[in-house]
Amino acid sequence: MILSTGEEVDLLIRDCAILTLDHAHFITQGAIAVKDKKIIYVGRKDSLPRVKAERAIDAHGKVAMPGMVNCHTHVAMTLFRGLAEDKPLDAWLRKDIWPLEAKLTWEDVYWGALLGCVEMLKTGTTCFADMYFYEDAVARAVEDSGLRAVLAQGIIELKTPALGKETFKQSIDFVQNFHGAAEGRIRTWFGPHAVYSCSLELLREVRRAASEKNVGIHIHLAESSEQAEKLYKKYGVSETCLLEKIGVLGSDVLAAHCIFLSKKDMQLLRKHNVKVGYNPVANAKLGTAVSPIKELMDLGVHVGIGTDGPASNNSLDMFWNMRFAALAQKLRYKDATVMNTRKVVEMATLGGARTLGLENMIGSIEVGKRADIILVDFNKPHLKPFHDVHANLVYSTCGSDVDIVIIDGRILIEKGEVKVLDEAKVMSEAEKRAFRLISK
Amino acid sequence: MILSTGEEVDLLIRDCAILTLDHAHFITQGAIAVKDKKIIYVGRKDSLPRVKAERAIDAHGKVAMPGMVNCHTHVAMTLFRGLAEDKPLDAWLRKDIWPLEAKLTWEDVYWGALLGCVEMLKTGTTCFADMYFYEDAVARAVEDSGLRAVLAQGIIELKTPALGKETFKQSIDFVQNFHGAAEGRIRTWFGPHAVYSCSLELLREVRRAASEKNVGIHIHLAESSEQAEKLYKKYGVSETCLLEKIGVLGSDVLAAHCIFLSKKDMQLLRKHNVKVGYNPVANAKLGTAVSPIKELMDLGVHVGIGTDGPASNNSLDMFWNMRFAALAQKLRYKDATVMNTRKVVEMATLGGARTLGLENMIGSIEVGKRADIILVDFNKPHLKPFHDVHANLVYSTCGSDVDIVIIDGRILIEKGEVKVLDEAKVMSEAEKRAFRLISK
């Protein structure tokens, strides 16, 4: 696409610095033009032809970058934010979270998800990967909020074959009904919970269905050392080996966590081009450990950053999660040179897009890609002096510095305010429902 | 003090939730009255007598808490924020930071410190402990910004006795000239850099002077394993043992970092009631390790949280540093129950005050203490639902949620904006000076 003089465009962003995440990488005085949801110009502002813009934004002092991609969450768990603190993973799940989740209704999930969508939008996330119950309610929240998402109805068996069958059936319906929904902003995947909570037969069936329908598989992998040990005792191999053995691994698989991996497991993930969702905050908060992300990336595995659900984080702000993602690696390897700022910005944007198979659509500011762009206001005391754009984004920016959020060319956040939803209503509805759940 | 009906007060904060940090701990519908810089009422709003307030704040939806105490920083290093990323401690200091610091002028330090003061105020820090060159310029920035601080002119020898003598002399002058400055908001301490950068004789002299002048000693301790090993080879004991041997340890000593400690070292710190400054972000960022804070606290050692200088963090936002402080401990001990939310909030406020010997003046919202109070706006999507005040403050709040900051009863930040300084000028002056320094 070449932009011609006099052409009409939908949106023009003038006079911003641009972190493109493609080979151009950083443009100090740039401009971006958007038409029909897509980027049709990105470059120096003085090379931009004179065009007619339906809407123009003067972005002086701001840095444009691709929207953040949160590649693992259970967004409706905003409802439980702060409810079960300072507890280890297994106790947290079994004693606190699962009993609460058993009481959830469609409306609870909708309002919880919508609250999370508002938080994500305001902090610069434009795409997320979710796995939960009532995922159609999450889909509705995605539609209403203008976000982009890869959604999976959770499949779980817990030694109850009927439950496995039922949730698998719901998943198939979900994929059939919602793939391509919200004007194409929703993709649907399968979401088998984990190796320890689904039978091998069920996992095989999920694999067949995913291949047949050409959608991906989002699964928790090697998150708990307890579960990993139990499985090892039962099968004599690691969780990762087991998944390979039954044919589940593939380039369409997004494995969240991947903490307890042997060298062989890492090689298997690489061999099958499995994508990894790194959730450092939740892993630390539940007292687990730091994933060997440096080693995975050295092997060439694609990694994105996830927040995990807001009940074990408790923040969907990807800036803060990106910062922790870098620091946790430096701590794990006791090496300050590990996970440099440029790498971690890429992981939170283009890397995340790759984990979802969306790298041709989003993840960088390039002509032809969807206009999923955020503008970060760098005119703040904590972002001065402006020595290094990557360092500022990783170590000094917080979600509240996000001024404008654009998805598919549509401005959803402006001056930090939500344009498309009644924020006060979302907060009060979600809070009411959360309070009702705990008093039930 | 008992507040009487009809009494005139300087400031009244109405209808807020209050995290007092004293035995009352949490008041859901509270009020605070301030007179002559001090808190004269804190309690339920319906128990407040009718008073005449010169200024009243309606704080519905906000949580009042003591201002944060940052117990270790070199605040003027804002100038170097983002300049030397992804480097290990020793290389970072010797190749990047020290050569830049050699070029610093009084004005550079003043504007760098002022930029840091603005950032601290906006993110809810009301008191900080600093150690640097041209500390009188930092004192000026404290005076101009309205902050409270414990300041130390850095003493460093680096095998050059004349340098040690000169910086020690500057320190004595600084203590004489600035103790009690800024209407009593400034306390001065001695700041010998570290055991490896000062001779034992110099450290002994500093100890004598501190005891004589009744001021504290702020020192880096056990931050670098390399330096610790070198000292061990030279003296046959650890850094901590060495400081004990020469009589430096005492209840007026604030030791920053304390990463490489043996069990015996920890016992020594406890025995002498040495205070510890925990700087988890900087320690992670430089690829070092996590301090054994859980063990120190189990022994009864008083610990506060520091950011360290903004060149190795790169943020002075104590909310983010508090969050990382908790997560880093959970990671170090692989235990989710370690460093619970209540403990970490206390560490960032009252705990910090204790490390500076100011616990009778600040650190909690109690009658008789100075009115150093912040109001956090909880009416935000990322702080909903409001299940748990400590969890929200530690894991979900960021500095930009701070709405009002009060020090000595004076409102310095309102609606998140600085009332006492020209923020734009501070940003541009500091940035200009930073750019000049790197181009020199």
Question: What is the chain A residue with the closest CA to B378?
Answer: A427
In a domain, B226, yes or no: yes
Q: Which residues of A touch B390 (CB under 8 A)?
A: 85
Q: Which residues of B touch A341 (CB under 8 A)?
A: 85-86
Q: Which residues of B touch A340 (CB under 8 A)?
A: 85-86
Answer whether B324 sits within 8 Å of A324, measured CB to CB: yes
Q: For residues A223 and A228, what is the distance between their CA atoms, to the nearest angstrom?
A: 8
- Per-residue confidence (pLDDT) for residue A1, from 0 to 100: 56
Cα separations in angstroms, A271 against A106, A190, A244, A264: 39, 22, 10, 10
In a domain, A438, yes or no: no
Domain end residue (candidates: A355, A387, A402): A355
Is-above-0.90 flag for pTM? yes
Radius of gyration of chain A measured on its C-alpha atoms: 21
In a domain, B18, yes or no: yes
Question: Of the candidates B82, B335, B381, which has its C-beta nearest A392's C-beta?
Answer: B82
Buried b / exposed e across B122-132, counting CB within 10 Å, b at 16+? Answer: bbbbbbbbbbb
* Structural tokens at position A235: 């099968």
Q: Are A222 and A257 in contact (CB under 8 A)?
A: yes
ipTM of the modeled complex: 0.97
**CA B386 remoteness from chain centre:** 28
- Per residue in A333-359, pLDDT (tens digit) is 999 999 999 999 999 999 999 999 999
Q: For residues B320 and B291, what is the distance between their CA atoms, to the nearest angstrom?
A: 17
Question: Of the candidates A86, A123, A334, which has its C-beta nearest B336's C-beta?
Answer: A86
Answer whether B382 sits within 8 Å of A398, measured CB to CB: no
Which residues contact residue A161 at a Cβ distance below 8 angstroms, ignoring those fewer than 6 apart? A199
Residues B42 and B175 in one domain: no
- Per-residue confidence (pLDDT) for residue A194, from 0 to 100: 97
Which of B73, B145, B395 is the mutation pick for testing A, counting most A CBs within 10 A? B395
Answer whether B388 sits within 8 Å of A82, measured CB to CB: yes
Residues B247 and B169 in one domain: yes
Q: Domain holding A370: CATH number?
A: 2.30.40.10
B275 pairs with which residues across the strands? B254
Which of A26, A85, A318 is the mutation pick for testing B, counting most B CBs within 10 A? A85
Which of A125, A382, A400 is the mutation pick for testing B, counting most B CBs within 10 A? A382
Q: Which residues of A touch B76 (CB under 8 A)?
A: none
Residues B57 and B40 in one domain: yes
Residue among A341, A329, A283 nearest A307 (CA): A283
Residues B315 and B381 in one domain: no
* Structural tokens at position B234: 């030279």
In a domain, B82, yes or no: yes
**Distance in Å, alpha carbon of B428 to nearest chain A alpha carbon:** 8
Q: How many domains does chain B have?
A: 2
Q: For residues B414 and A95, what is the distance between their CA atoms, to the nearest angstrom?
A: 42
DSSP-derived secondary structure letter, B370 = B
Question: Of the candidates A330, A388, A400, which has its C-beta nearest B400's C-beta?
Answer: A400
Q: Which residues of A touch B291 (CB under 8 A)?
A: none
Q: Which residues of B touch A226 (CB under 8 A)?
A: none
Domain hosting residue A35, numbered range? 8-66+365-417
Amino acid at B374: I
Residue among B381, B440, B434 nearest B80 (CA): B434
Q: Are A174 and A132 in contact (CB under 8 A)?
A: no
Decide: helix, strand or coil at residue B131: strand
Residues B132 and B164 in one domain: yes
Under 8 Å CB pairs connecting chains A and B tally to 213
Burial of A24 (0-12, 13-18, 19+ CB in 10 A): middle
* Structural tokens at position B403: 């709405």
In a domain, A74, yes or no: yes
Residues A199 and A291 in one domain: yes
DSSP-derived secondary structure letter, B382 = G
Q: Which residues of B touch A395 (CB under 8 A)?
A: 82, 85, 285, 313-315
**CA B240 remoteness from chain centre:** 22
- Per-residue confidence (pLDDT) for residue B3, from 0 to 100: 85
Answer whether A395 sits within 8 Å of B285, measured CB to CB: yes
- Per-residue confidence (pLDDT) for residue B378, from 0 to 100: 98
Q: For residues B267 and A378, what is the distance between their CA atoms, to the nearest angstrom?
A: 46
**Distance in Å, alpha carbon of B316 to nearest chain A alpha carbon:** 8
Residues B273 and B291 in one domain: yes
Residues A62 and A73 in one domain: no
Residues B36 and B129 in one domain: no
Question: Of the candidates B333, B381, B395, which has its C-beta nearest A314's C-beta?
Answer: B395
Answer whether B382 sits within 8 Å of A423, measured CB to CB: no
Residues B299 and B264 in one domain: yes
Answer whether B79 sits within 8 Å of A385, measured CB to CB: yes
Q: For residues A335 and A346, what is the distance between their CA atoms, to the nearest angstrom?
A: 20
In a domain, B434, yes or no: no
| Distance between first and last Cα of chain A | 57
Question: Of the candidates A115, A396, A438, which has its C-beta nearest B81's C-beta?
Answer: A396
Residues B155 and B273 in one domain: yes
Domain end residue (candidates: B336, B355, B374): B355
DSSP collapsed to 3 states, chain A = CCCCCCCEEEEEEEEEEEECCCCCCEEEEEEEEEECCEEEEEEEHHHCCCCEEEEEEECCCEEEEECEEEEEECHHHHHHCCCCCCCCHHHHHHHHHHHHHCCCCHHHHHHHHHHHHHHHHHCCEEEEEEEECCHHHHHHHHHHHCCEEEEEEEECCCCCHHHHHHHHHHHHHHHHHHCCCCCCCEEEEEEECECCCCCHHHHHHHHHHHHHHCCCEEEEECCCHHHHHHHHHHHCCCHHHHHHHCCCCCCCEEEEECCCCCHHHHHHHHHCCCEEEECHHHHHHCCCCCCCHHHHHHHCCCEEECCCCHHHCCCCCHHHHHHHHHHHHHHHHCCCCCCCHHHHHHHHHHHHHHHCCCCCCCCCCCCCCECCEEEEECCCHHHCCCCCHHHHHHHHCCHHHEEEEEECCEEEEECCEECCCCHHHHHHHHHHHHHHHHHC
- Per-residue confidence (pLDDT) for residue B25, from 0 to 100: 87
Decide: helix, strand or coil at residue B42: strand
Q: Which residues of A touch B86 (CB under 8 A)?
A: 336-341
Answer whether B423 sits within 8 Å of A381, measured CB to CB: yes
Decide: helix, strand or coil at residue B411: strand
Cα-Cα-Cα-Cα dihedral sign, residues A362, A368, A372, A377: positive
Angle of helix A135-145 relative to helix A106-122, nearest 10 degrees? 40
Beta strands in B385-436 (DSSP E): 402-407, 410-414, 417-418
List chain B residues with pLDDT less than 50: none
Answer whether B384 sits within 8 Å of A331, measured CB to CB: no
Question: Of the candidates B336, B382, B430, which has its C-beta nearest A384's C-beta?
Answer: B430
In a domain, B275, yes or no: yes
Domain end residue (candidates: A323, A355, A387): A355
A259 pairs with which residues across the strands? none
Question: Of the candidates B381, B395, B399, which has its C-beta nearest A115's C-beta?
Answer: B381
Residues B21 and B122 in one domain: no
Which of B92, B290, B314, B428 is the mutation pick for testing A, counting most A CBs within 10 A? B314
In a domain, B208, yes or no: yes
Q: Domain holding B217: CATH number?
A: 3.20.20.140
Q: Which residues of B touch A122 (CB under 8 A)?
A: 381-382
Q: Which residues of B touch A123 (CB under 8 A)?
A: 382
List chain A residues with pLDDT less than 50: none
Q: Which residues of B touch A382 (CB under 8 A)?
A: 119, 122-123, 315-317, 399
Which residues contact residue A436 at a Cβ distance below 8 angstroms, ignoring those fewer than 6 apart? none
- Per-residue confidence (pLDDT) for residue A251, from 0 to 100: 98
